[in-house]
Structure 1
Amino acid sequence: MAWSATTWIELADDDLTADGVRDVLGPVKDDVWVAAACADRVTDDTTVQRVLLELGLERTAAAVTRAQAAAADGKDALLAYFRDLPADFRLCSIRALLLRRLDRLNTFVELCKAAPADTQNPEDAWEEDDPWAESAEPRLADPPIPLSTFLADTLIRSTCLLASHQWFAAVKLVFDRHTVELWPYRFGVLESIPEHANPLSYRDLLPAVDASTGTERRFDSSPWRPEPDWTESADALAVLELSPEPDVDIAPRPDAAAADQLANWYKSHIDLIISTTGMVDVALALVQHAASQGVPGLDEVGEDLSLLSRLIYDAIQGENDPDFDWTLERWRALEPLPVVKAYLQYSTPDTVAKDIWRLVMPYLFVVESRAERAGQPNPELRTSVLYDYILGIPLQMAASIFEASKPILPKAQRIIQNDEDMARLALSCLYGSGSLAEWTVMSSIFECLPAWDINKDDNDEDAVDTTLVSLGSFVTPSTTRPHCNASDLFIFFRPLPLTSLSRALDILDVHLESGEILSRWSVPAPLRWFLQSNSDVQEQRAWANRMARRAGGAEDKLVSLEDWEWLLEDMLKLTAQGENGLRGAFGLLSQDEALKIFLGGLLSTGNFGIAKALLRSRNTKLSLSAQSIEDLCLTCSRELYDNASSGNYTFGEMKLAFECLDVPPPSERLKREKEFIEATSRLSSFNITSSRGTPLTPIEIRLTKDRLSLVSRVLSSNNDAYKHTEVILDLVRKLGFGGNVVAEVKTLAMLADTALQAEDFERAYGTSQQMVDTVLNLRSAHPDIDSSTVQEASEVCWVACFQLGRQPEFDDIDKKLSLLGRALELCPPEQLHDVLAAWRRLESEDIEARNERLASNDTSKNVKRRKTGNIAPSLRERLQEFHLPSPQLLNTPDAAALASRTFRSVAANFPFSVSGSGRAAQEEERGNSRLLSKGIGWLIGADADFVEGR
């Protein structure tokens, strides 16, 4: 084709071909122009690019030969030559550029073959297992940088880009072919590698120490051209003044680094890897490689990374663990115990012993070694850290460690190798635990402990007992230490000698057995409770009561005789003394007290049939006196009574309270208690209420001081209750007033008053008569008429009679006179005047009524006499009209009562009492009464003035 400058310029890079380059530039005679054209064009086609570079080098070869000949006469001759022939100067300069590009082109071709395995044939990866696939050469992957950029950009920048894409073989190739150019920037290239990359994949790029020099080992160099071109010589470079490649943001380090500098670089890079990625395995691989390459000062870093790697990759991890973000800084800041806890945080009882051996022990060994290297040896560090961990873990985890520390194992295979320390740790863990259900685990720990053959003569039991008393006080909560944990107890147990430890284990054995028994009956206690209650009889008694009562109230409530016999046997076992001289949890209680507590608990559950069977069995262990049994039954019955919500004794707790009294043989006390329950049930049937308006509860009935007030409530709240006199009296007797005449009289008085309020006068009179008879019988049975009982009954009786006797609505004057007569008979002397006044008023009414009847009778008789002619009444008729008082008032020995009866009898029949009318008649009547009162004052025994009312 015809050549022209325009043709070359208009020819696009994509249209260039090898033949086209030769066809266009070959005919051109101007070497400078052709060389410049070849240098100006940069393409991504390796074949075209190679043709351009080779063509350009051909056109510069003659100029180099001429310049090299001129340079033989010296630098000045060369400079003069280039001044005279600037075209050759330009050609030499272009040649140097073309040679550098040719080397890079060769490198680029090679690095395309060094692509990472995971980048080759990515689209054909799914066919790699296809047996019918045609075999073919693997297609080379495209580098992360095109050829044009690789040729035009700085080599260091391109190399860093390759490193960032993890083309490590390509990077090594570039270093091998361009060592001189890249060596000062080696650390910059390494820092371009992603932190998560595996160091083993670029280990050939990592710095190493040359054992012969003690400094950094240099890379081996394999340049493309063993002999540099003349244009690359020092003389030519000085004359040609070739411009260097653009600067990069990487500080050059042309000299080999010292060993400690390499160590510092590795340390900083390790910190960078962990802080940015958290990939401890990558950092560990890096430090291991560094150590293999002779880099010093990385031992501790390697240890930390190795131990941290075990924590992250070997230890059991939890899901969404917030502590997963580990760094070397955080790791180094931790004390040994938190590290151990981190190792075993998610260990299980099945794995904890193995995890200690494979994770914790290597770590503690490293910690001890470091302490020794630092000149601060601590031979107890390993055991103290391990002990602190054991004292703070759950019992089930600790049990696995004790299992792996049994004395029967070889010492080298035991986690806890000291027998005495093992006992101290077990005592601390068990007594420091608040567990109420892990008795099987606790027993398994105890079974792992050593057993010593201690001579009894060497065993100071008093000292041990004193120690245990102190221990009981130590575990008791206080304001300064509300809770005593296992670590606190270990401090207490640590100074104890072997004999004390052996005795403490014997006591622990008893406590564990006692704990299992209490747990079996639903009243578990933490082991520390057995220490606290060791000298506290009140606490032991309270727990025994809980055991006896809660056992029968648990979900699996005891229903069979065998179960209760088992409970009794266990309670007695807790009070008994064992072969080692130690008592159980209730050791301060006597056997008799334990039996009483058991029976009380049995009765409280309502299993009275079982109670009877146990008490009446010939082989029973429940051997109590009859009095004790009766007392317990009464106490239990009253407890059931007090807790009852209803007073009806046909169901619920009240029924149990009633039936409980049938367990022992009958007695008067039991009879009275049963009657009281019956009375309570009857009171409940009347639906009486408390002051709050709610039904009266049994406990309120028992706590009522004046139980007769309950009867009053019944009468006031039930309209017909007063009609059932015997029912009410029976209720009073069962309320505890059996044989109490005063209570009976008060009850009759309330009945009479209630009937009076209901205007049932006949029933009120009948009840009053019954009350009078009761009082009179009492007075006749008590010679001492001034006794408090007689006086109280008489007081109630006369007041009741007085109230009914003066009731205006009660129209039976004879009965009212009889009642007032009884009131006058029974009232004290100072009340005679009031009663007499009422009597006089009633007497006046009676006289008026008789006068009316007499007048009516006289009228009818006069009419009859007038008809018959017989005017005057006969003596017989006059005597029939004369009424005498009832003789029943004359039957008392009381002088005052006799006088009052005499007064009433006489006054009621004196003629002047019925004569006259109006004011004059009334004055005459009062005067006659006063005269009569004065006249019988000696008989009444009272002052006449008082009787008269002055």
Structure 2
Amino acid sequence: MANPWSTLADEGLTPESVRTHLDSITNDHWVAAACFDRLVSDIATQRTLIDIGLQRSASALTRACDIYSNTASTSQSNTNFLLDHFRREPLDAQVCHIRACLRKRLDRLNTYVELQKELVVKGFENEGDDEWEDDPWADEEDSQQKGSPEDKSAILPLPEFLTDDLLVTALSLAAQEQFPALGVLVERYGKFLFPHRLVILESTPEHTSPSDYRQFLPTYDPSKDCEQQWTSNLSWSDTDWTDNPDVQSTLEQAGVKPLPSPECIPGAIKTPLSSSALLRWYREQIDRIISRTGNVDTALVLTQHGASSGLFGLDEIGEDLSLLSRLVYDAPRPLTEDEDHTLSGWSNMSPSEVIRSYLSHSTSATIVKSIQRLVVPYLFVLESRAERSGDPDPSLRNRLLYEYIVSAPLEIAAPIFEASKPILPAVERLIKDDEDLARIALALLYGSDSLDEWVTMSRIFECMPAWDSDYVADAGQEDEADTTIASLGAFVTPSTTQPRVTASDLLLFFQPLHASSLSRALDILDVHLESGEILSRWNVPAKLRWFLQSANDDNEQRSWARRMARRAGGTSDEPDSPEEYEWLLEDMIKLSNTGESGLRSAFGLIPKDEVASIFLSGLLNSGKFRIAKTLLHKPHSKISLSPTAIEDICLSCSREFYDNATDGNYKVGDMSIAYSCLTVPKPSDRIIKEQEFIEATSRICSFNVTSRPGIPISPIEIRLTKDRLSLVSRILSSNNEAYKHTEVVLDLVRKLGFKGDSTAEIKTLGMISDVALQNEDFDRAYKIDKQIVDFVAGLKDGGVDVGEEVKEVCWVACYQLGRQPEFEDVQKKLYLLGYALRLCPPERIVDILAAWRRVDEEDLESRTEELNSAKPFPSRTDRRGRTTRNEPGIALKSIADRLQKHITPSPLVHTPDAALLASKTFSHITANFPFSVRSSSRASQRSGSPASPMMNRVSLDQDDGRPSAQASRVFQKGIGWLIGADGE
């Protein structure tokens, strides 16, 4: 038959039902085991189970106790007899073990009853706002049930408490902030829980105030210089035989599982902490609270508890926490900032970093109050600590405060200076010393990189002290101050060893200066601030230290003056009127003045005339030509420059635009600006010459002249070309039609700078003639040659000495065309060769004459053919009046016979082409011409000369044989007679 006990549910058990079912069972072992196995939530029922279990274990206890007691007098150990008994009767051993467990469970049950009194049910009503405490809609029944035993059982169920380890229960109570209940547990089991006290404390929520669990915090015992231990008050009023350690050991030897002990849990710290370990624990707990919650006040309460017991070192930590709480709660900070602060982080911060943290989010409106409420108390604590340590530092407060001010932004520093004005009472001033006030201002302003805070700088300057003249030293010390300022200019100039000077460096520099020097330095600062405002007004601001660097550097001042004059160079919009630029000129002149005190302004090293020149150059470089004309030509112009100086400036600016131009067309781009720049001054020879050169440049570029294959020539290359006639040569060689526009080419030559240069024009005509000859345009070549001849003849008729270079160009051009076989106009060829004979050097006469003779023979042959066709042997009258028959070749043979009597035959006269001698002369004069005089095969065949590479270009090389000087003179007379010249 099944036992009804196993079918009973725990929830349905009552003390009466337990007794009813178990009293009827006679097996004590089974009843004791059944009572041990059952765990219920009802306290009374559980107590009944424990009581019945203890009652039914009494008989087994009596038997074991009698054996243990009766064998004490024998020679054999009583524990051995007991062990033998337990081995013979294992049920008695198990019952004794159950009895021991039930006694511990009874003690736990009694503790649980005490805990129930201290447990607090924390519901939603305790977490909300106070206004909900008197909620009229709250259910009365629910209100009555709050804090009921059922709710408390949910917090700590009885079965779990009876079976769980004490440490687990303690940790759970600490985590739930059930500190009164935890106090009951510690009071009854403090001996067992003390080794785990630190683990229990770490289980408490970080946001919980240490005042709520201060009885569990480690306390310092000054008498022992270590931690105080917890004491315990065990609830057992009597002892039981099973509590004997020998009995427990015997039961374990008999194979019964031993009872668990809290002392066996690892990680326990059984001994009290030393003072140093205790201080370290407090610091770690403080950091844990601050890092996880940011609640400095909670950490401060923890510190105060430890310090109240006299633990050395926590007082200073308390000071740090108090100062840190000011940073967390009192210092201005944005709502969105999520910055974590810890005690260790605070301890690692330097005083300067602490001050910057205090003031990092202060504004110009709150900076003064923040310093007074946060920084000043902190500095007082630092001074006190230094005094307590035996190393006082009277300058600590000022040094740290000044260090912050010189590193602060100007808009933050300005209110500090305003709160330190000399007119304020000394108690209210942040900077109490006038000399320190001046030093800090000078260091801050000259160390600033600001370019647009001139109003703020002026606010700071207005706070400076004004010392009486009796207090300020004499002029000798003023000179010393000026020397100091000059050396300061070198000090702030960047170098490889010191790229940038900070305000802190400058503060050290100004530290030795006294009132006289500081007063002079403030006067200089006043001039620099005024100059800085002017430069900023015209969009060329400079750092304040620049005025120190450039005080003795005229080149630097000129550079900045040019920047100021070109302030609108990057814009294309012209101002509405020139008044603005007059104002600019006035300010530039003002910056070049020297004040009554002898202090020079920003451009003090530049003469006023040079300032006006720089101003005008800036206008022109900015393309403000209309403004420049207006200011130059208006009555009482403020630009007091001579016409020559104005021309020089305009030419310089125009050439700058010219050199930077990428397109030679003077209608567009920089070239157009360069041309327009020349319209500003009144016309002059130099201005017109430069305009014509720009026009010539534009025309050259229009012919698509290249500097390298595929790359058009640039304007700067044209200007840098030494022989500008070579540019004309390149035009003629690159454009097949250019030679047809003689006047255009000549006009280009004149605009290139050769106006009135007859030699250049003759050379140009010679080049045009050569190109026409290459293109076999003989008529045009003849016209050009005729133009050259007429030009030279006109010069000679006018008594002008014709240079050898002009003569050479003329005779070579005439010779080149006159000897061309393809040119069929014999009379024109004879004319050209005749003129070539008149201008050529004596050593070239023979060669030219050979060509002339061939042409003349052609002429005679043609005439003879004409005469023969009309009359076989007509007669003619010679120059002496004699009548002779016109036989072919008689005239030419007569002339040749007469010439042979006076000269030694030249080998070149008998060469197939005597004209080769003229090639050398032509090559010399046309050395710069990039052309080739082309001779077709048809021309070679006519002339009868051999086909050779020399025919691709006419050569005038000659052999070594030359006529003597006397023969040359005779030959020249003969040639003169031949061409109809006077018989000289």
- TM-score normalised by structure 2 residue count: 0.77
- By how many angstroms is 1:121 displaced? 8.1
**1:839 partner SS:** helix
**2:803 partner SS:** helix
Give yes or no for the alignment of 1:51 onto 2:55.
no
Equivalent residues in 2 for 1:588-737, closer than 5 Å = 588-737=605-754
Matches of 2:745 and 2:824 in 1, distance apart? 27
- Residue of structure 2 aligned with 1:105, choices 80, 104, 109: 109
- By how many angstroms is 1:562 displaced? 1.5
Matches of 2:864 and 2:370 in 1, distance apart? 124
Matches of 2:33 and 2:807 in 1, distance apart? 153
- By how many angstroms is 1:222 displaced? 8.6
Query: Could you tell me the percent identity over the aligned residues?
Result: 53
- By how many angstroms is 1:922 displaced? 9.3
Tell me the amino acid that sits aligned with residue 104 of structure 1. Answer: R
Matches of 1:912 and 1:307 in 2, distance apart? 143
- Residue of structure 2 aligned with 1:853, choices 866, 882, 897: 866
Are the counterparts in 1 of residues 40 and 159 from structure 2 also a CA contact under 8 Å? yes
**2:901 partner SS:** helix
Equivalent residues in 2 for 1:378-393, closer than 5 Å = 378-393=393-408
**2:648 partner SS:** helix
- Is there any run of 5+ residues in structure 2 with no aligned partner, and where? 63-71, 250-257, 906-962, 973-984
Matches of 2:127 and 2:642 in 1, distance apart? 100
1:896 maps to which residue? none
Give yes or no for the alignment of 1:291 onto 2:302.
no
Give yes or no for the alignment of 1:160 onto 2:157.
no
**After the TM superposition, which of the residue ranges 257-266 and 193-202 deviates more from structure 2?**
257-266
Matches of 2:789 and 2:414 in 1, distance apart? 85
**After the TM superposition, which of the residue ranges 392-401 and 370-379 deviates more from structure 2?**
392-401
Give yes or no for the alignment of 1:174 onto 2:185.
yes
Matches of 1:14 and 1:408 in 2, distance apart? 87
Matches of 1:913 and 1:574 in 2, distance apart? 99
The 1:238/1:830 distance shift into structure 2, 3 A limit, reads closer
Tell me the amino acid that sits aligned with residue 837 of structure 1. Answer: A
1:706-763 Cα offsets, whole Å, 9 max, x none, are 2222222333333333333333322222222121111121122222223222322222
2:14 maps to which residue? 17
- Is there any run of 5+ residues in structure 1 with no aligned partner, and where? 66-74, 863-872, 885-905
Tell me the amino acid that sits aligned with residue 163 of structure 1. Answer: A
2:810 maps to which residue? 797
Are the counterparts in 1 of residues 96 and 242 from structure 2 also a CA contact under 8 Å? no
- By how many angstroms is 1:540 displaced? 1.0
**After the TM superposition, which of the residue ranges 234-243 and 423-432 deviates more from structure 2?**
234-243
Are the counterparts in 2 of residues 64 and 231 from structure 1 also a CA contact under 8 Å? no
Tell me the amino acid that sits aligned with residue 598 of structure 2. Answer: G
Give yes or no for the alignment of 1:205 onto 2:212.
no
Are the counterparts in 1 of residues 815 and 848 from structure 2 also a CA contact under 8 Å? yes
Give yes or no for the alignment of 1:332 onto 2:347.
yes
**After the TM superposition, which of the residue ranges 528-537 and 746-755 deviates more from structure 2?**
746-755
Tell me the amino acid that sits aligned with residue 722 of structure 1. Answer: Y
Equivalent residues in 2 for 1:493-504, closer than 5 Å = 493-504=510-521
Give yes or no for the alignment of 1:467 onto 2:484.
yes
Are the counterparts in 1 of residues 819 and 851 from structure 2 also a CA contact under 8 Å? yes
1:636-664 Cα offsets, whole Å, 9 max, x none, are 22223333333333344333333333333
The 1:628/1:178 distance shift into structure 2, 3 A limit, reads same
1:841 maps to which residue? 854
- By how many angstroms is 1:541 displaced? 1.1
- By how many angstroms is 1:564 displaced? 0.8
Matches of 2:128 and 2:112 in 1, distance apart? 24
Tell me the amino acid that sits aligned with residue 638 of structure 1. Answer: R
Matches of 1:664 and 1:730 in 2, distance apart? 25
Matches of 1:186 and 1:592 in 2, distance apart? 91
The alignment covers a number of residue pairs equal to 878
The 1:115/1:302 distance shift into structure 2, 3 A limit, reads same
Tell me the amino acid that sits aligned with residue 111 of structure 1. Answer: L
Equivalent residues in 2 for 1:912-931, closer than 5 Å = 915=888, 926-931=896-901
Equivalent residues in 2 for 1:484-563, closer than 5 Å = 484-554=501-571, 558-563=575-580
Are the counterparts in 1 of residues 482 and 520 from structure 2 also a CA contact under 8 Å? no
Equivalent residues in 2 for 1:730-809, closer than 5 Å = 730-782=747-799, 785=801, 790-809=803-822
- By how many angstroms is 1:944 displaced? 0.8
Tell me the amino acid that sits aligned with residue 316 of structure 2. Answer: E
- By how many angstroms is 1:614 displaced? 1.5
1:132 maps to which residue? 137
Matches of 1:393 and 1:124 in 2, distance apart? 45
1:290-326 Cα offsets, whole Å, 9 max, x none, are 334554431122223333444455556689989x565
**1:551 partner SS:** coil
Matches of 1:262 and 1:409 in 2, distance apart? 51
Matches of 1:359 and 1:457 in 2, distance apart? 40
Are the counterparts in 1 of residues 405 and 413 from structure 2 also a CA contact under 8 Å? yes
1:566 maps to which residue? 583
2:237 maps to which residue? 229
Tell me the amino acid that sits aligned with residue 439 of structure 1. Answer: W
- Residue of structure 2 aligned with 1:444, choices 456, 459, 467: 459
Are the counterparts in 1 of residues 902 and 970 from structure 2 also a CA contact under 8 Å? no
- By how many angstroms is 1:494 displaced? 1.9
Matches of 2:722 and 2:378 in 1, distance apart? 78
Are the counterparts in 1 of residues 861 and 888 from structure 2 also a CA contact under 8 Å? no
Are the counterparts in 1 of residues 631 and 637 from structure 2 also a CA contact under 8 Å? yes
Are the counterparts in 2 of residues 428 and 487 from structure 1 also a CA contact under 8 Å? yes
The 1:211/1:765 distance shift into structure 2, 3 A limit, reads closer
**1:576 partner SS:** coil
Matches of 1:333 and 1:910 in 2, distance apart? 137
Are the counterparts in 2 of residues 647 and 697 from structure 1 also a CA contact under 8 Å? yes
**After the TM superposition, which of the residue ranges 456-465 and 242-251 deviates more from structure 2?**
242-251
- Residue of structure 2 aligned with 1:824, choices 828, 837, 840: 837
Tell me the amino acid that sits aligned with residue 648 of structure 1. Answer: N
Matches of 1:914 and 1:401 in 2, distance apart? 126
Tell me the amino acid that sits aligned with residue 427 of structure 1. Answer: L
1:6-32 Cα offsets, whole Å, 9 max, x none, are 555665645522220122245678999
1:760-800 Cα offsets, whole Å, 9 max, x none, are 222222222221222233334456x4xxx622222221221
The 1:171/1:539 distance shift into structure 2, 3 A limit, reads same
Matches of 1:625 and 1:124 in 2, distance apart? 91
Matches of 1:363 and 1:184 in 2, distance apart? 40
1:887 maps to which residue? none
Tell me the amino acid that sits aligned with residue 420 of structure 1. Answer: E
Are the counterparts in 1 of residues 658 and 715 from structure 2 also a CA contact under 8 Å? yes
**1:382 partner SS:** helix
**1:690 partner SS:** strand
The 1:696/1:231 distance shift into structure 2, 3 A limit, reads closer
**1:778 partner SS:** helix
Matches of 1:176 and 1:391 in 2, distance apart? 61
Matches of 1:575 and 1:912 in 2, distance apart? 100
Matches of 2:362 and 2:724 in 1, distance apart? 70
**After the TM superposition, which of the residue ranges 273-282 and 493-502 deviates more from structure 2?**
273-282
Tell me the amino acid that sits aligned with residue 531 of structure 2. Answer: S
- By how many angstroms is 1:416 displaced? 3.5
2:946 maps to which residue? none
Matches of 1:698 and 1:396 in 2, distance apart? 52
Matches of 2:403 and 2:655 in 1, distance apart? 54
